[in-house]
Amino acid sequence: MAELDEDRSPGHLRLLAERIGRNVNLLSGVTLLLGVLFVFLTVFPEVFQRVFVASAPEQAATDVGPIAVDEGIVNGIHVETGFIVDDNWEVVRGTCTACHSAKLVTQNRADREGWTKMIRWMQKTQKLWDLGDSEALILDYLAKNYAPQKKGRRARLTNIEWYDLTP
């Protein structure tokens, strides 16, 4: 089994960026661009029928977030990701969604120890990098907003949508 073998520090990331950058700026830029295009054409061909700029022109000029897309927040929930908006939520968003969906976070519940274990598991097996000072912030946010709820041995049925069953 492949072990954690590659430095994922920001420095490494910069090297990666520069590598990609060199590719783009020198000879294989077109390859990369066509590659991205190819990937999207393959996976989501119908996407190309849409115009992309929908959310772009209205964005604030000076305060563009880490991944500046739709910043809609409704009832304390960031609509696009589903994250609860609380201290450090953007650190969590920026870190966790680099690799996986926000849904993988928001559907889980754990105490601080449990969340720490998940981070360690991702570091050990999934190439998650050292989170540095962000780790404590991330754990604060997760342990507070996504803490376990008691379910017991069998929960009652909830959210029943009643409908008339025609005889």
Partner 1 sequence: MEKTRTLFDLQRLYATDPIEADRLVFGRESDPVTRRGFLRNAGLSAMAVVLGGSVVFAKDMPAGLIPALLLEGGDEDLLAKLGKDKGLIVLNDKPFNIETPAHLLDDDVTPETRMFLRNNGLIPTAVDVNTWTLTIDGEAVERKVSFSLKDLKTKFSHHTYRLVLECGGNGRAEFDPPAEGNQWTVGAVQCAEWTGVRLRDLLEKAGVKKNAVYIGYYGTDTHLSGDQDKVVISRGVPMGKALEDETLIAFAMNGKDIPLAHGFPLRLVAGGWPASVSGKWLKRIAVRDKVHDGPKMTGDSYKVPIEPVEPGTEVPEEKLRIIESMPVKSLITYPKSGASLVPGQKLNVRGHAWAGDLAVKEMHVSIDFGTTWSKASLLPPHNRLAWQRWSAELTFPKNGYYEVWARATDSEGHSQPMVVPGWNAKGYLNNACHRIAVRVK
Query: Which residues between 134 and 163 bind partner 1 (CB under 8 A)?
Result: 148-155, 157, 160-163
Residue 78 beta carbon to partner 1: minimum distance, rounded to whole angstroms: 14
Q: What is the total count of residues that contact partner 1 (CB under 8 A)? A: 88
* Min dist. Cβ of residue 146 to partner 1 (A): 10
Least Cβ distance, residue 11 to partner 1 (angstroms): 11
- DSSP sequence for 78-123: ETTT--B--TTHHHHHHHHTTTS-THHHHT----HHHHHHHHHHHH
Cβ 76 to partner 1 shortest distance, Å = 19
Interface of this chain with partner 1, residues 39 to 98, rule: CB under 8 A: 39-40, 42-44, 46-48, 50-57, 59-62, 64, 66-70, 94, 97-98
- Is 101 among the residues that bind partner 1 (CB under 8 A)? yes
Closest CA to 71 of 96, 40, 104, 93: 93
37 binds partner 1, rule: CB under 8 A: yes
In DSSP terms, which residues pair with 73 in a beta bridge?
A: 78
Half-sphere exposure in the Cβ direction for 110 (13 Å, CA): 17
Q: DSSP 3-state assignment of 167?
A: coil
